[in-house]
Amino acid sequence: MIQIYGTLGPACAGTETLVRLFEAGMTGIRLNLSHVGLPGAAEQIEHLHAAARLCGMTLQLLIDMQGPELRVGALPAPLSLEAGTTVRLGTDIPLPPAVLPHLTAGQEVLLDDGRLLLRVLEPLPNGAPARVERGGVLRSRKSAALPGVDIRLPAMTDSDRENLRLAGDYGVTGVMQPFVRSRADLEAVRGALDEAGGQAIRLFAKIENLDGAARLAELIPAAGEIVIARGDLGNSGPLWQLPALQKRIAAACRQAGRPFMVVTQMLASMEQSPVPTRAEVSDIFNAVLDGASSVMLTGETAVGRYPVEAMTYLVHTVREAERYLRTL
């Protein structure tokens, strides 16, 4: 049976809503640790365990690490970026120091999984002015990407190492390593987990860039499950190339007998709408037909207006696809 995950967040933080998500068919949940550590999420995790007990569920809790992902720093308040205006990267929008040398004239900067697009006007010593080409509202700790630029960061942050050390105490069953670039990244995480007594915790390798996709053959044996993480993966090249890339990763996993997950914007419209689009349910259905062993909602359950409704549509679509496969 395909595993169905939600993402923990303000929209589903209470025990009552979590119970409803489990009753709708959710089998596990993800906690994004890019914004908070395990101790800071202790209350949410307590609600999660309580909901699982009430539903008689064996809890599957995945933690999503910070890893080598580039992110915007802390903002004092959500920042509204209007197309055609100019903003200063490095000050108005704080970025990791490793990014600043790569802010050359004409360089594109994608923020929040590509929802916002900026173009650098000129490099300056402590940052760069950039023109907003695709606007929106930017919040703290959202993803940042510079297409065509390879910025090397360590596989784990100090916070990641501390969360791995505590994972067993909080009932974590799986670790999602973002932006996997090589087998060495996975071996480093696996080693830290084993050292902390987490030998039973599964390791999920998130494929989010072309480096990871190109090295899939070496990553598959080192991961318990491959994650086709379409948010940043879709920023790694023209968006219209993403479906073929997803198909190739899925085929490689099937051939190797390795389970894989499909995630990101599966029901994105349901963050604001009580019903999905036809394209979204077709996307879920096709992910199952491609052989996905698990699927996941992110913002839909974490911050969306209709977390239970979104989970209900996901579950029903997955189960319908499973019924269809049994008829073939």
Domains of the chain: 3-68+169-327 (3.20.20.60), 79-145 (2.40.33.10)
- DSSP conformation class of 9: S
Assess whether pLDDT exceeds 90 at residue 280. Answer: yes
Question: How do residues 242-253 score in pLDDT, each as one tens digit?
Answer: 999 999 999 999
In this structure, are strands 28-32 and 3-7 parallel, antiparallel, or unpaired?
A: parallel
**Active-site position among 7, 264, 298, 312:** 264
The pTM score is: 0.86
Quick one: pLDDT band at residue 150, thresholds 50, 70, 90? confident
Cα gap 75→79, rounded to integer Å: 8
**Active-site position among 30, 142, 181, 230:** 30
Higher-pLDDT residue of 254, 148:
254
**Active-site position among 181, 183, 190, 206:** 206
The candidate with the shortest Cα–Cα distance to 7, out of 180, 280, 193, 264, is 264
Average pLDDT over residues 286-308: 98
What was the pLDDT predicted at 321? 98
What was the pLDDT predicted at 284? 98
Active-site residue, 247 included: no
Helices (H), strands (E): how many in the chain? Answer: 11, 15
What was the pLDDT predicted at 34? 86
Average pLDDT over residues 156-163: 95
The candidate with the shortest Cα–Cα distance to 291, out of 326, 249, 250, 244, is 250
Active-site residue, 277 included: no
Q: What angle do CA 204, 206, 209 make, to 5 degrees?
A: 160
Cα gap 256→216, rounded to integer Å: 10
Quick one: pLDDT band at residue 152, thresholds 50, 70, 90? confident
**Active-site position among 7, 20, 71, 312:** 71
Assess whether pLDDT exceeds 90 at residue 197. Answer: yes
What was the pLDDT predicted at 21? 98
**Dihedral (Cα; 135, 136, 140, 146), 10-degree rounding:** -30
Active-site residue, 206 included: yes
What was the pLDDT predicted at 153? 84
For CA atoms 287, 288, 290, 291, give the dihedral sign.
positive
In this structure, are strands 294-296 and 3-7 parallel, antiparallel, or unpaired?
A: parallel
When the pLDDT of each residue in the chain is averaged and rounded to a whole number, the result is 95
Beta bridge partners of 120: 130
Assess whether pLDDT exceeds 90 at residue 188. Answer: yes
Cα gap 174→226, rounded to integer Å: 12
CA 173 vs CA 30, 166, 319: distances in Å: 10, 12, 24
Question: How do residues 14-69 score in pLDDT, each as one tens digit?
Answer: 999 999 999 999 999 999 998 889 999 999 999 999 999 999 999 999 999 999 88
- DSSP conformation class of 124: B
Cα gap 264→229, rounded to integer Å: 6
* Residue 67 structure tokens: 């890893």
What was the pLDDT predicted at 154? 87
* Residue 222 structure tokens: 């080192």
What was the pLDDT predicted at 79? 96
In this structure, are strands 225-229 and 202-207 parallel, antiparallel, or unpaired?
A: parallel
Active-site residue, 298 included: no
Length of the chain, please? 328
Beta bridge partners of 143: 71
